[in-house]
A and B are shown apart, each in its own frame.
Chain A
Amino acid sequence: TQLLEQSPQFLSIQEGENLTVYCNSSSVFSSLQWYRQEPGEGPVLLVTVVTGGEVKKLKRLTFQFGDARKDSSLHITAAQPGDTGLYLCAGASNQKLVFGQGTRLTINP
C-alpha cells in the first residue's frame, strides 16, 4: 500500500514568517500534486511536479520534487493570513492519487 506522510500536521505561525511543509513516501510516484483546501470546499490544485529534482515557484510558494520522486516540499516565504488553509500533497500512480493527511496551516496577523 502506497502512503504519503505529511509533516507537520498542524502549523501556526505569525504573518511574515517562512515555513516548509514536507511530504514523504517510500514509493515512487509519476508526478506529485499540491492542493489547498478551504473549509467546506473542494481542494484546489496549486501545482504539479513531474521530474525528479524539479522546482516550481508560484509567487511566494516554492515546490520541490525529490530526486528519487518519493518526496516533496512546499516552502512559503513571508506568509500572509490569506495563506491559511489545509494543504494536501498527492502522488499519482496508475490513474489514481494517493493523498497525504494534510497540513493545517494558520497564519496569525
Chain B
Amino acid sequence: SQTIHQWPATLVQPVGSPLSLECTVEGTSNPNLYWYRQAAGRGLQLLFYSVGIGQISSEVPQNLSASRPQDRQFILSSKKLLLSDSGFYLCAWSPTHEQFFGPGTRLTVL
C-alpha cells in the first residue's frame, strides 16, 4: 500500500530564516506530487505541483520554491521566510485524479 510522509510535523522559525519541508511517498512510482497551504480551518491553496523529476509548476508567485530531486521526494523551500508564510502545509500525491494527503506541517514564523 502507499504511504506519504511529511516532516517536520511542526516548525517555528524566525522571520528571514530559510525553510525546507520534505515530503516522501512510498509504494508507488512516478506519482504527481502537490504542495498546498491551508489557512486556519479553510480551503487549500495549491502552491506547486510536479508530474516528474525536475518538473515543477508554480501556481502563485510567492516567497517559496519547490524541487523534486527524486521520483518520490518533493521539497518546499524558502531562502528568507516572511510572517505571511505561516500556515499549515500539506503534501499530496495522485495516481490519477484523486489526491491523497500527508499529515501536514504546521509552520509558525515569528
State the A residues within 8 Å of B (CB).
Answer: 6, 30-31, 33, 35, 39-45, 48, 86, 88, 90, 92, 95-97, 99-102, 104
The answer to whether A95 and B103 have CB atoms under 8 Å apart is no
The answer to whether A41 and B49 have CB atoms under 8 Å apart is no
Indicate if B76 sits at the interface (CB-CB under 8 A). Answer: no
Closest residue of chain A to B92 (Cβ to Cβ) is A42
- In B83-110, which residues have CB < 8 Å from any A CB? 88, 90, 92, 94, 97-104, 106
Known: A99-B44, A99-B46. 8 other contacts (CB 8 A): A40-B104, A42-B101, A42-B102, A42-B104, A90-B44, A92-B97, A97-B46, A97-B99
The answer to whether B41 and A30 have CB atoms under 8 Å apart is no
| Chain B: interface residue total (CB-CB under 8 A) | 23
The answer to whether A99 and B98 have CB atoms under 8 Å apart is no
With most chain B CB atoms within 10 A of its CB, the pick from A31, A41, A95, A104 is A95
A-B CB contacts (within 8 Å), total count: 59
Q: Nearest-CB distance from A48 to chain B (Å)?
A: 5
Give CA–CA (A102, B38) in the complex, Å. 11
Partner of B104 from A30, A41, A102 at Cβ < 8 Å: A41
The answer to whether B101 and A102 have CB atoms under 8 Å apart is no
Give CA–CA (A86, B44) in the complex, Å. 12
Sort A-B residue pairs by CB-CB distance and give the 8 closest, nearest first: A42-B101, A92-B97, A101-B43, A99-B43, A99-B44, A31-B97, A43-B101, A42-B104
Give CA–CA (A88, B43) in the complex, Å. 7
Task: Say whether, besides A30-B97, A31-B97, A95 and B49 are in contact (CB < 8 Å).
Answer: yes
